Every structure is written in C-alpha cells, then in structure tokens.
Amino acid sequence: RSGVPEPAGWASYFIDETARHTKQYYLDLIMIDLAGIAAEQEVLGSHSDGSGGDERADLVRATDRATKIEAVFGMGERLTSHPSRDIGELRKLRTLDWQLDVAVQKILNEQFDRATEIIRNNRAALEELVEELLLSRFVFPAGVKKVFEKHGGKVTVISEPS
C-alpha cells in the first residue's frame, strides 16, 4: 500500500513529567531512544530515515531530551538554565548557540555508543526477539526479560528511587 504509514515497531512506556528525575534517568531514556538506530546499524549496516524527521521519531526525542539536560535542567556542562520548556524555542536556541549544539551532540554520541555496546553484547537475544516478533508480531515485557535472561543478559528496569 503506497502512502499509508505503518509502524514497523515501537516500544511504549510512561514518563511521569511531574516527577523529579536525575540526569542519569534522562541519559537512560536517550539511550533507549537511540537503541533502535544502534540495532539497525549493527544488524543492517545503516539505519533508516524512520529514526528522524518526525516529531515522534526516536532521534528527535533523544535530541530534545539532551537539549533539556543542557539548557533547561541545569544538568549539563554549563550550570545554566533557560526558563522555557517550549521545545520549539529550545530547538531555535540550539541552532543559535553552537556550544549548546556541541554539548547535545556529545550526549547523543555517548548514549548511542552505550546503546551499541548493549546491542553487541546481547546479539543472540536480539536475534531471538526478532524471530519471535516475526512469528507473533508482538512481545510483552515479560517475554523480552525471559529471552535476555536465557542468553545470560541482564534486564534493568529504569526507574527513580521512591
């Protein structure tokens, strides 16, 4: 079917925007956002255009989160905070402030490398999950955990301390 967008895959999770989070929490989310790109590059040799270019795309979310770390939350290389959370304003700020853009790129590169290492270290589990998805088109979190543990991988739930 031409022209009809169909999702090829996604993961959904809930983020409580009203809760307080640490820098590591946001870095973990960025790493998760970049894991699909890392997996495509490891398995296919390059990633597709689905990773960016749309408000809901993984790379856009990761870039916006890294910008918030650096420009809003005071968790970046500079101890500064821009008073707006308006993403359009922050994107404009990133284009005008080359130091901010460099700092955001550094975060993205570090978290992409982290995601790539996890993919490489868990390649057998990844391949089994791909087979499961091809058969059933869906895997519940418990199924993902079971596959990773079967292959000796560690499953970590990302959450904040209560």
- The DSSP line for 76-88 is SSS----S---HH
Which pLDDT score, from 0 to 100, does residue 2 have? 53
User: Using CA atoms, how far apart are residues 47 and 40, in angstroms rounded to an integer?
Assistant: 5
CB 60 within 8 A of CB 66: no
- Pairs from 34-38 (Cβ < 8 Å, separation ≥ 24): 34/58, 34/59, 34/62, 34/108, 34/111, 34/112, 34/115, 35/115, 35/118, 35/119, 36/9, 37/112, 37/115, 38/112, 38/115, 38/116, 38/118, 38/119
Closest CA to 133 of 5, 1, 30, 7: 7
User: Using CA atoms, how far apart are residues 120 and 112, in angstroms rounded to an integer?
Assistant: 12
Neighbours of 59 (CB within 10 A): 19
Which pLDDT score, from 0 to 100, does residue 41 have? 93
Give percent above pLDDT 90 in the chain: 47
Which pLDDT score, from 0 to 100, does residue 153 have? 75
Model confidence pLDDT, tens digit, residues 31-62: 999 999 999 999 889 998 888 888 889 999 99
Which pLDDT score, from 0 to 100, does residue 17 have? 64
Which pLDDT score, from 0 to 100, does residue 156 have? 66
Q: What parts of the chain have a pLDDT lower than 50?
A: 1, 4-7, 161-162
